[in-house]
Copies of this chain bind each other. A is one copy, B any other.
């Protein structure tokens, strides 16, 4: 259900609350931006990685560990995920825009302390980016020391919304008669290059199904 925070006031027709749309955006995006409030009441934002597991999003919290260290109680946060799909060039400067898909989650994120859940969460984060990477023999799995040294947050997908913009420029009627001005869309896709093996690796690329590649730029 939309709450006060997830109800879009601006261009509400772009807002979506269906879980399928929200999940798809969360699953495709390689990274998220985690918004927090510091002890002085000021906002701060860090880029980090996440993964969805059913109705929960796990966030790698180590980059914000300073702020998150205190207490096991939930910390108010906002997780924003944005996929850029194109540049929209309108006849008017004012109606220039971008095609994008974004999802915003709000809630109290809790620190994951149980080692089994933490292991599953970190596996999900690796799988989120490179499917098949946690299969037997594809990596050396985390040991308990590594698990303990990693801060993972759990945020239920509860208060969430998505925004999606697709298609060409939306122009003022009067501007449609302007001549000599190019208008349209430049699509953008995050494209993988040839895998670059590390020093000492003499193995073929294992052909992992990279998240973004299989899904395309929408």
Interface of A is mostly: mixed
Contact pick for A184, options B46, B78, B93, B196, CB 8 Å: B196
Residues of B within 8 A of A66 (CB): 9-10
CA distance A100 to B62 in the complex (A): 16
Task: List, in ascending order, chain B residues with CB within 8 A of A203's CB.
Answer: 180-182
Within 8 A of B (CB), among A1-52: 5, 9-10, 30-31, 33-38, 41-47, 49
As for how many copies of this chain the complex holds, the number is 2
Which residues of B are found within 8 Å of A185, using beta-carbon distances?
195-196, 198
Chain A interface size, as a band, is 35 or more
A residues near B (Cβ < 8 Å) are 5, 9-10, 30-31, 33-38, 41-47, 49, 62-63, 65-66, 76-80, 82, 84, 87, 89-94, 96, 98, 100, 102, 104, 106, 122-123, 126, 129-130, 133-134, 137-143, 146, 150, 168-169, 175-176, 178, 180-201, 203-206, 210, 212, 217
